[in-house]
């Protein structure tokens, strides 16, 4: 961690909560399902679809996982009731991944079953490397029962190419979000050189698309968006084989350009009461985000 990053981590507890709320409000839809519905409606009107994420992870009690399942079930019903173009994204630690794998599997099954009934989809987010194997294991079991579920692969992980090849071989075709990866991992398991992470991102997208899988290209890095445009052109891919994905409140100009080019774009919309814990922990985990947020807040990017 650089000196600047250490400084960022050190100052986080001193940032006044109202200021944190102000900054977070650009990236988080609010605290309630109603707030989330409003944000998605606005995005749908701008030509974007959405994926909704209930904030919260690393729970310690089964009841917390059950409460999360209830919230997600209500959320799926609300999406249906409001007729919005959205699905959901879920972190498995919030559904009990670190408590009991069978319990977590049952919780995921409840969500995917409901999503199937409502003709929508559940994306399983990827968390830090201590979760990778178990997350893919649960995905794989659920995918044998349902088509309406996808996972996330992180381009910084050295294992990722093997993981997508394995999953694609096991399930004929898979629906994968490709992202760079947000957690701080050690060099023995993750690429540290951003040029390699970017090249690996493009490689993973190509490997998946060439083999008939559906890809969510999740990035705000215009070089990677451009590389996907070129790949789509070279492979003569129809538009229903991929989508672009971005986080709420990040580079809205790029978002609008992608929509204008006629591509499907999905915005990741987090909401929930635990926005403060989520924001501060994320900043501590990866101070690079704090620099992005600060620059964008000051109008420097």
CA atoms of 183 and 64, how far apart (whole Å):
23
The answer to the question of residue 165 lying near ligand FDA (CB under 6 A) is: no
Burial 207-240 (b: 16+ CB within 10 A, else e): bbbeeebbbbbbbbeeebbebbeebbeeeebeee
In this complex, which beta carbon is closest to ligand FDA, that of residue 154 or of residue 160? 154
Point out the catalytic residue in the list 53, 125, 148, 251.
125
Instruction: Tell me the number of residues near ligand FDA by CB under 6 A.
Output: 25
Single residue of 251, 263, 265, 270 touching ligand FDA by CB under 6 A: 251
Binding segment toward ligand FDA, per CB under 6 A, in 10-18, 97-105, 167-175, 288-296: 288-296
126 phi-psi bin (left φ>0, alpha ψ -120 to 50, beta other): beta
Binding segment toward ligand FDA, per CB under 6 A, in 80-88, 185-193, 203-211, 290-298: 290-298
Residue 70 among the catalytic residues: no
Point out the catalytic residue in the list 114, 123, 143, 177.
177
CA atoms of 290 and 295, how far apart (whole Å):
8
In this complex, which beta carbon is closest to ligand FDA, that of residue 280 or of residue 296? 296
In this complex, which beta carbon is closest to ligand FDA, that of residue 96 or of residue 181? 181
The answer to the question of residue 53 lying near ligand FDA (CB under 6 A) is: no
Those residues with Cβ within 8 angstroms of residue 40's Cβ, 6 or more apart along the chain or in another chain: 29, 50, 52, 79, 82, 84, 85, 86, 269
| Range 191-220, binding ligand FDA (CB under 6 A) | 218-220
DSSP classification of residue 286:
-
In this complex, which beta carbon is closest to ligand FDA, that of residue 187 or of residue 236? 187
The answer to the question of residue 125 lying near ligand FDA (CB under 6 A) is: yes
Nearest to 177 by CA among 94, 262, 245: 245
CA 191, 195, 198, 203 dihedral sign is negative
The answer to the question of residue 181 lying near ligand FDA (CB under 6 A) is: yes
Residue 170 among the catalytic residues: no
Binding segment toward ligand FDA, per CB under 6 A, in 32-40, 102-110, 159-167, 244-252: 244-252
Residue 205, CA distances (Å) to 40, 89, 108, 218 in order: 27, 20, 26, 10
The answer to the question of residue 182 lying near ligand FDA (CB under 6 A) is: yes
251 phi-psi bin (left φ>0, alpha ψ -120 to 50, beta other): left
The answer to the question of residue 245 lying near ligand FDA (CB under 6 A) is: yes
CA atoms of 22 and 12, how far apart (whole Å):
14
In this complex, which beta carbon is closest to ligand FDA, that of residue 203 or of residue 292? 292
Please identify every residue annotated as catalytic.
Answer: 125, 177
Given the rule CB under 6 A, which residues bind ligand FDA? 125-126, 152, 154, 177, 179-183, 218-221, 245-247, 250-251, 268, 289, 292-293, 296, 301
């Amino acid at each position: 961690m650089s000196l600047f990053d250490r400084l960022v981590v050190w100052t986080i507890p001193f940032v006044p909560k109202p200021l944190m709320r102000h900054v977070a409000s650009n990236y988080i839809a609010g605290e309630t399902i109603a707030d989330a519905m409003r944000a998605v409606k606005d995005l749908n009107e701008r030509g974007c679809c959405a994926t909704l994420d209930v904030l919260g992870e690393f729970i310690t009690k089964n009841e917390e996982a059950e409460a999360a399942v209830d919230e997600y079930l209500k959320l799926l019903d609300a999406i249906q009731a409001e007729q919005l173009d959205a699905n959901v994204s879920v972190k498995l630690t919030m559904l009990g991944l670190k408590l009991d794998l069978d319990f977590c599997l049952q919780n995921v099954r409840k969500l995917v079953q409901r999503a199937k009934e409502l003709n929508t989809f559940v994306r399983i987010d990827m968390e830090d490397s201590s979760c990778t194997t178990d997350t893919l294991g649960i995905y794989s079991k659920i995918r044998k029962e349902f088509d309406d579920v996808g996972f996330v692969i992180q381009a910084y992980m050295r294992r990722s190419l093997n993981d997508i090849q394995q999953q694609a071989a096991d399930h004929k075709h898979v629906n994968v979000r490709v992202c760079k990866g947000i957690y701080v991992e050690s060099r023995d398991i993750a690429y540290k050189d951003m040029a390699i992470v970017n090249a690996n991102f493009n490689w993973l997208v190509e490997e998946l698309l060439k083999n008939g899988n559906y890809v969510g290209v999740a990035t705000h890095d215009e070089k990677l968006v451009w590389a996907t445009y070129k790949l789509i052109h070279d492979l003569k891919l129809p538009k229903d084989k991929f989508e672009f994905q971005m986080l709420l409140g990040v580079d809205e100009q790029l978002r609008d350009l992608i929509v204008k080019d006629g591509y499907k774009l999905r915005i990741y919309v987090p909401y929930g009461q635990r926005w403060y814990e989520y924001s501060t922990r994320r900043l501590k985990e990866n101070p690079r985000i704090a620099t992005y947020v600060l620059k964008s807040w000051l109008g420097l990017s």
